[in-house]
Structure 1
Amino acid sequence: MGGPLPLGDPAPADGLLPADVTADPSTDFGVYLHVPFCRVRCGYCDFNTYTSGELRGARQNEFADTLAHEVRLAGRVMDAAGPRRMASTVFFGGGTPTLLPPGDLARMLDAVRAEFGVVEGAEVTVEANPDTLDDAVAATLAAAGVTRVSIGMQSARPHVLAVLDRTHDPANVATAVAAARGAGLDVSLDLIYGAPGESLEDWRASLETAVALQPDHISAYALIIEDGTKLARQIRSGLVPMPDDDLQADMYELADDLLAAAGYDWYEVSNWSRGVDHRSRHNLAYWRGTDWWGFGPGAHSHVGGLRWWNVKHPAAYAQRLAAGESPAAARERPDEEARRLESVLLRSRIREGLAVSEVQGEGRRAVAALIADGLIEGGDAVRGRIVLTRRGRLLADAVVRALTV
């Protein structure tokens, strides 16, 4: 079920934005659809997800219609904030969106299309567990307008999957990729490294297996131990060891070497693609700070500098919408300094980097030292951009601290 929602100002029941918040029609607009259902809870997961025994009155078979109700409410809210923008990207995340019938996902996308429109050539992504994506599902998604699937492979090693509480058969990753390819969909594979008991050779095997499937995009995330998760409790009680930072660094360097050799370019600290056209446009919009509306329980939104987030539990979410109310729980408007710091944090992670002019005070004076330490590219800095070296990617948090003092 994830951690608690952030604090903020109360959101009004009608969902209307403050009168001085206006949407810029010249900026991209993304749509995120959160499907919070999972068959089992992975031991490392801190996302807002629910198994069947945790729904307490919410019904999966009613979810698509409930979310479509929120989409229609959003259309009315956006009318008061300026002209509606068509969605340039749509992303179904979770949870496991493909636990729902593909026809339900199609209806949710149709609701977005009817209320906002979807631009021609938009990127439309669905996250999928390997066990839930077959030829029929992939064909239905493609027919609905989905263009891309992100498959949760995580590892090729059964013992690593077991530590993570992943239940899929590793062999089904290839089956899912083939189904997506057969339907004409782009494919991304998600990997996790640094699980307790995972060796460097285990990780090499996972990378080589992923590369052999020739996806368009690969994400590789270091395992983070989140408070409140099963894995955190296991580590605290001594049942499994804490991930080793030095080993995780070796794993990252191995990933960067193998993926580069296979033709994948890094474009964000944890993401590689076969050329610019296969980068995740939806996630890049987050890192660049553009607008998006998040639909579903616990989803977050950002429009015109205002942020808000929905109630977390699917039952509370459904109850509010049934009563004709917005599911937004609270909202905030970060000040200029907070937005600047966040821009440095996010934009420094991507290949294009951020302008040196965005860094102020002591942070600007730290640039020369960061170049000398091999953390940012000297040539790019001379041209006015701050771009991380590979060593800088490994120490990205330290770079951000130096730039934001």
Structure 2
Amino acid sequence: MAGLPPEGQPAPDDGRLPDGALDRLGERGFGIYVHVPFCASRCGYCDFNTYAPGELGSAGRTDAASWLEAALAEIDLAGTVLGAAPGGLPRVDTVFVGGGTPTLVPIDYLSQVKSRIEETFGFTNDVEITTEANPDSVDPASLEALRTAGFTRISLGMQSARSHVLAVLDRRHTPGRAVQAAQEARKAGFEHVNLDLIYGTPGETDADWSASLSAAVAAGVDHVSAYALIVEDGTRLARQISKGVLPMPDDDVLADRYVMADDALGRAGLTWYEVSNWAADESARCRHNELYWRSGDWWGVGPGAHSHVGGVRWWNLRHPGRYADRLAAKASPAQAREILAVEDRRVEDVMLRLRLAEGLPLTVLDADGRAAAARAHADGLLDVRDDRAVLTRRGRLLADAVVRDLLT
């Protein structure tokens, strides 16, 4: 099961935010995240707030129809809470429907959620509307329906092109299905198609990873995300490793695989714009994720969803039934919240913006941080130019350590 959220402070039943939190609403962009908590089965490495058949028991308000009713109610709540902003409600720049597997619920439900967001807030002229999907949860007809409903971007969980790697990850789709689904999405008219890959799975070889990269490139997508496998506590994979059934991913191997990805994707015309993300051009970047990395504002709809507005972060009740019950009672589904101090916000700014290819303004750093940036530049970890610090490729491999040094 998924890891627990922080404890935080009590959140008010009406969802109201502290004084001042709405003063600059949307200045760094505004988005809506929608969490769909259902999966056909649980992948062995996953610790997200998702539920496979049978995991929710017979509790009430846990089906897709109850989820839809609650999600629409939370969008209405968001409109009421954020409508108190001095400048009124912001228009939505990005919508991202994630999970779980969003495409397990009827597409009409996703369309209703998208329409309610548009009715409540309005969309910017170039709004980006994304859904995640498993390759085996879509087909040409459903992809055309999603595109007709207004979705502009789709992110498909490919993970690997090798069957034995997919088996270790407990993925259900066949090796070639992700590529086929990506091509079907392009044919359906999606403006942007992303494939998600994972490297470092126990039993994966360099040849396996190279084949996965080649397959992703051959799919003709304009965006690829590649993530090192992280062994999360409480997952089936973690238990297998603790029992010695599978080996722990090796850090040196993970670094080599990252270099392989950067080389292969670069040759294919995809350029890194965030440590784990490559795009064909600026328009192909995932703008919703850029909103996160640039500390923008967003409201998270759904069980366990997190939100951030004006330095206030809150998170919803995780269980779909409890989440729906709160909204049925006309109360906020927030479990708790935290109010970030100025220094907390600066630290997050450094942690997130340094991961971007555009780098971090040196003015965000204090004197010790600027001295650390100079040392990192001398060590070949940072490229410092025009008063900005940008990770080199070697620096990307050691990004967490570089951030720690800048903040120490």
Report the TM-score, using the length of structure 2 for normalisation. 0.97
Shift of 1:290: 0.6
The corresponding residue for 2:29 is: 28
Candidates 376, 386, 405, aligned match of 1:402: 405
For residues 115 and 135 of structure 1, what CA distance do their matches in structure 2 show? 31
For residues 121 and 333 of structure 2, what CA distance do their matches in structure 1 show? 19
Q: Does 1:123 align with 2:131?
A: no
Q: Report 1:209-224 matches (<5 A).
A: 209-224=215-230
Tell me the SS of whatever aligns to 1:53: coil
Tell me the SS of whatever aligns to 1:75: helix
Unaligned runs of 5+ in 2: none
State the number of aligned residues: 402
Identity %: 55
Q: Does 1:314 align with 2:317?
A: no
The answer on whether the counterparts of 1:133 and 1:179 sit within 8 Å (CA) in structure 2 is: no
Deviations 1:31-54 (A, max 9, x none): 100001111111111111111212
For residues 123 and 21 of structure 1, what CA distance do their matches in structure 2 show? 25
For residues 112 and 170 of structure 1, what CA distance do their matches in structure 2 show? 36
For residues 118 and 149 of structure 2, what CA distance do their matches in structure 1 show? 11
Q: Does 1:148 align with 2:149?
A: no
The corresponding residue for 1:6 is: 6
For residues 393 and 369 of structure 2, what CA distance do their matches in structure 1 show? 20
Q: Report 1:4-403 matches (<5 A).
A: 4-24=4-24, 25-56=26-57, 57=59, 58-82=62-86, 83-185=88-190, 186-377=192-383, 381-403=384-406
Letter in 2 for 1:36: P
Tell me the SS of whatever aligns to 1:52: coil
For residues 163 and 382 of structure 1, what CA distance do their matches in structure 2 show? 44
Tell me the SS of whatever aligns to 2:318: coil
Tell me the SS of whatever aligns to 2:34: strand
Deviations 1:91-123 (A, max 9, x none): 000000001111111111011111111112211
Unaligned runs of 5+ in 1: none
The Cα RMSD (Å) is 1.0
Shift of 1:362: 1.8
The answer on whether the counterparts of 1:87 and 1:116 sit within 8 Å (CA) in structure 2 is: yes
| Shift in CA distance, 23/180, structure 1 to aligned 2, threshold 3 Å | farther
Report the TM-score, using the length of structure 1 for normalisation. 0.97
Letter in 1 for 2:289: N
For residues 75 and 401 of structure 1, what CA distance do their matches in structure 2 show? 38
For residues 339 and 17 of structure 1, what CA distance do their matches in structure 2 show? 17
Letter in 2 for 1:180: A
The answer on whether the counterparts of 2:180 and 2:219 sit within 8 Å (CA) in structure 1 is: no
